[in-house]
Every structure is written in structure tokens, then in C-alpha cells.
Structure 1
Amino acid sequence: MKLKNKTIVITRQPEQARTLTQLIEKEGGKAVLFPTIATVAADENIAGQERVIARLEQFDWLIFTSENAVKFFLKRLQDGAIQLPAIKIAAVGSRTAETLEKEGIPIHLIPDDFSAKGLIDAFTTSELRGTKILIPSSNLAREELQTGLKLHGAQVETVIFYKTVPNPNFDHKAFRSLLLNKQIDVITFFSPSAFNFLVEILCLEGLNLLQTSETRLAAIGQTTARAINMQGLKVHIIPKISTSKGMVEAIINYYEGKEDERK
């Protein structure tokens, strides 16, 4: 019970937080859900989605960078009664891969490093040169992956299939109360938008509370950590492996005083 008496806030959506919740509770901690993000279909871009789906067979690779990308892309195929053609699939992250596997979709490439750079490095230059790649994405997708692939000679199209927006049902009162009463030990963030939306939801007062709080902040990776640092906040915990299990292990290591988990 290495997290006994620790209250850890999860800012992910409930369907994405199950594994993390279970792992925290297994170690005796209390997991509290405060989702900062909501995802909705990008219906205003249906025409663009339909155009790219109509020529799916022209692509060599289909790259999914999140569970939501899989979910909303496949939903659009199902709505149009369209079968996924024989196309190579790359998945960034174990949860993205699991989502594809549950749908019976074979995966041809999963990078060891769950990042844009990790995926680019997993390809060889010869594999990418002239390769046609489709990336279903969100309205907040970073350009790092697309830019990197293009630099290696790939022809890349990024099409928005869903939008990431601030959670309209975020419980401000409960979160503020826990923070003020020093009842939150760690807040976990699995994306820059999870943190940025929290700041947007709480406004300046909430940011000030975070800055003066003793609560520890945990970021899933360096990109998320940079977003937190840009607001003048310190990131205390970054897992070596960007998974729910890695996050819990990093939190445990932090409280056990292992310096390599302290950022």
C-alpha cells in the first residue's frame, strides 16, 4: 500500500481513467476524477472527412496518435458503412494500440517511445520517402509529427475528426475546496490540453491557487511538462514510461524519495 493516505486527482475522461484509477487504488491511494477535457465529433468538417475517406485506398499508412482518434475515425467509417481497406496501421501509445486491437484492426508499428519523435524514429528514411500517410486528428493536434514525417519525404495529410474542448461539467466548487483544504496530494496530466483547460476553467484565481499550493503536479511526458512550466508552475513528477502504470510507479518513487523521479 505505497500510496496509502494519498489523494490523486485524474484529469482524464472517465473512460480513459479506469486503468489509472485501479492502479492507484491497488496501492491504497484515493483516485478522484476531475476531467478537464471533453471530446466531441468535428461535425463541421464532415465534408473534409468524407473526401479523405473516399480515397483511403490511396494511402500507404494510417497513423493513430490517441484512443479518441481511433474512436471518431471508425465512427465516421461506420456511419458511412465503409470498410477499412488493406492499409498499414501505426499506433502511438499502448492504449491507442489496445483500442485498435479491440476493434480487430491489425497494427504494423508501435514505437517504443510513445511520442511523435519516437514514431518518426521507428520508420527508416527509405520507408517514408514518397509514402502517403493519413493522420486523423483533433483540432489541437501538434504539428511535430506531420512536420517530421514530411522532412523525411513522406506525403502527409492531417484531417480533423474530433475536437478537444474544456469540460463544461467540471466541478469548480469541489475542486477548489479540496485544493484550499490541502486534500489533494498529486494532480496528474496526460496532455498539454488537460492542463491548459484546467487553467482556462479555473481562471487566474485557480492558477494562483496552484502556484501557492503544496499539491504536486505530475506530467505524462516532457511536452505536457513544458505546458505546465510555461504557466510558472513546477512539475514534480514525470514517468520514465508514458503509461498509467509508469505514472503510478513515478508517483510512488517520488514519495519514496528517489531523486530521478523529482523534476
Structure 2
Amino acid sequence: MSKPVVAITRPKDRAKKACEIVEKLGGSAILAPTLDLEPVNSESLKNLVSKKDELDWIIFTSPTTIVSLNKFHPEFLKSLNCKLAVIGNKTGKLAEKNGLTVDLMPQDFTAEGLIEEFKKREITNQTIGIPRTASARPILPEELEKLGNKVILAEAYKSLFPMDDKTVKELIDMIENKEIDAITFTSPLTVENFFKIADNKQELAKILNDNLLTVCIGPITANVLEKYDIAYIYPDTYTVPDMMELLFKTWREENE
């Protein structure tokens, strides 16, 4: 059996582990980031840092948030004295690596999963800081406020259209030439930007459905794939390792 060629569209600074997993599982990885992440020391982030002592909770939704705080406000993490909720194993591990204790991590690694945990625990009348990207979905702060909490939002990084779209165009050429076996998407923006770069979106969608196995990290990203009529699969646990395990299991079953 030939080894599958897997396209990885996640940001470059997050893609190393994904590429390693592909190689370990017996595939060949092609990296073509459709999203760039840039830490920013925004006024809203400075405001959150200044209100550190008012916080009852802080929520980290991605590792990039922690990277940004470490870059611009390293003392903030060292002196943080509130409860911490995170979304995802990777975010939790990086928080712990920085000396923090994770008080809450939902089994469902989505904003919706975290909201359910806050509802179950009847967490209300709390001041909650959420440093994240400004382009993130509004559901998390909105639902926490509905529970009676005060939310302090802060922009910790920007989610940018890829500054180098040449590699994505090269990936699309490889897809059209049937040189790619599977493609992975780890966030809604990785899908949106991929199709923004494509000249013929309908034709590309048809090629993906006819020739590639499309795997995404979870239901939120899947919703965007549905918009483009792309057939997809995603794992029960929304992590990159589980996504890759599912990809290789499915690919081998289809190519035996």
C-alpha cells in the first residue's frame, strides 16, 4: 500500500506536531498554511492585564493566547490568582508548563462544551477574562454573560489571511493534479481562507469530494465545510492526534 500524502492547512507555528504525526503514521505531510497568527499587545489586552486582581476566572481558548501573554506581559501569568478554564489538551499543557493550575477543561473541546460546564457548575456573578482573537465566535462571552457573569474580552492575537498564499496555490495545483490523498482543517478560518484563494471554488469542492479524504478537527469547522458542500469526517475527541488517527484509519480502510 502506498503512503498517503496529507495536506495540513493549520498555521505554520502550530503545524510541526501535525506533520510529525503524519510521518509517524506512515504518511507524507504537505504544509500549506491558510491562516497566520500574530500576537498583539492590544489596548484591550493591556486593560485585561491591569484588571488582573478583579478576575475570578480566566479562559484560555488556544495556546497562542498564552504565547502572547508571555511575550508582552510575562509577569501576568506568574502572578495570576484566579481560576483557569481552558479549551483543549494542548492549551492546558502549555498553561501547566507555565506554572498554572487548570481548574476546568471540558470534554467537548469547543466553546459550547465550556459553556455547558459553566452551566452545570452554576458559575454566575463572576468576573471572567477572555483573551483571544477578535475574529473568534461571539457565543462564549454572550452565553457567559447570560449566566450573570461580567466578561472582559481582550484581543491577544490576530488571525490573518496567509501572508504567503503561494504555497496554498501550489497545494491547489497538487490537488487538481491528484497528488494529494487527504486534507485537514483545524478551524473555520482555515477552510474559509483556503476557498478564498481558490479561483474556481465549485470545481475545487468537486475535486475534494471525488478524489480526497477531507478531515476536520470538529463540528464547528465541519459547519463551514458544509457551506461548500464538502463531505468530511471528524473524530469524537477534537484534537489533532485524534484527527490524524481517524484520517489514517479511514484512508487505509478505503484503500485496502
* 1:91 CA drift (Å): 0.9
Match of 1:157 among 147, 152, 155: 152
Q: TM-score, with normalisation over the residues of structure 2?
A: 0.89
Flag the 1:141–1:196 CA change in 2: closer, same or farther, 3 A: same
AA at the equivalent of 1:167: P
Give the secondary-structure state (helix, strand or coil) at the position aligned to 1:234.
coil
Contact 2:185 2:221 in 1 (8 A): yes
Q: Matched residues in 2 for 1:36 and 1:85: separation?
A: 34
Deviations 1:62-121 (A, max 9, x none): 00001112211332213xx55533111111001111221222222111111111121122
Q: Which moved more, 1:97-106 or 1:189-198?
A: 97-106
Aligned to 1:85: 80
Deviation at 1:233, TM superposition (A): 2.2
Match of 1:110 among 101, 105, 119: 105
Decide whether aligned partners of structure 1 residues 73 and 26 sit closer, same or farther in structure 2, where only a CA change above 3 A counts.
Answer: same
Q: Answer yes or no: is 1:226 the counterpart of 2:223.
A: yes
Please show how residues 124-163 of structure 1 align to structure 2 within 5 Å: 124=119, 127-163=122-158
- Offset of residue 174 of structure 1: 2.1
Q: How high is the TM-score relative to the length of structure 1?
A: 0.87
Indicate conservation of the 8 Å contact 1:240/1:250, yes or no: no
* In 2: Cα distance, 1:160 partner to 1:234 partner: 33
What is the DSSP-based 3-state SS (H/G/I as helix, E as strand, rest coil) of the residue aligned with 2:171? Answer: helix
User: 1:201: Cα distance to partner?
Assistant: 2.1
Corresponding residue of 2:187 = 191
Which residue identity lines up with residue 166 of structure 1 in the other structure?
F
1:26 aligns to what? 24
What are the equivalent positions in structure 2 for 1:36-47 lying under 5 Å apart?
36-43=34-41, 46-47=42-43
- 5+ long unaligned stretches in structure 2: none
Offset at residue 209 of structure 1 (A): 2.0
Displacement after TM superposition at 1:184 (Å): 0.8
Counterpart position of 1:261:
none
SS in 1 for 2:91: helix
Question: Which fold has the larger relative contact order, with Cα–Cα distance below 8 Å and residues 6 or more apart in sequence?
Answer: 2
| Matching residue of 2:14 | 16
Percent identity between the two aligned chains: 27
| Deviates further, 241-250 or 148-157 | 148-157
Partner residue, 2:245: 249
Q: Which amino acid aligns with 1:65?
A: T
Which residue does 2:162 correspond to in 1? 167
Please tell me whether residue 178 in structure 1 is matched to residue 168 in structure 2: no
Matching residue's letter, 1:228: L
**Deviation, structure 1 residue 124:** 4.5
**Secondary structure of 1:122's partner?**
helix
Q: Which amino acid aligns with 1:177?
A: D
Tell me whether 145-154 or 158-167 shows the greater mean CA deviation: 145-154
In the alignment, structure 1 residue 95 sits paired with structure 2 residue 90: yes
SS of residue in 1 equivalent to 2:43: helix
What is the alpha-carbon distance in structure 1 between the residues aligned to residue 157 and residue 249 of structure 2?
A: 36
1:200 paired with 2:192, answer no
Shift of 1:31: 1.1
- Higher mean alpha-carbon deviation, 27-36 vs 47-56, is at 47-56
Q: How many residues align?
A: 250
Q: Is the 8 A contact 1:187 1:218 kept in 2?
A: yes
Residue 127 of structure 1, CA deviation: 4.2
Mapped to 1, the partners of 2:35 and 2:43 lie a distance apart of 25
Q: Distance in 2 between matches of 1:207 and 1:76?
A: 43
When residues 173 and 55 of structure 1 are mapped into structure 2, their CA distance, relative to the original with a 3 A threshold, is closer
- Structure 2 Cα separation of the partners of residues 189 and 173 of structure 1: 16
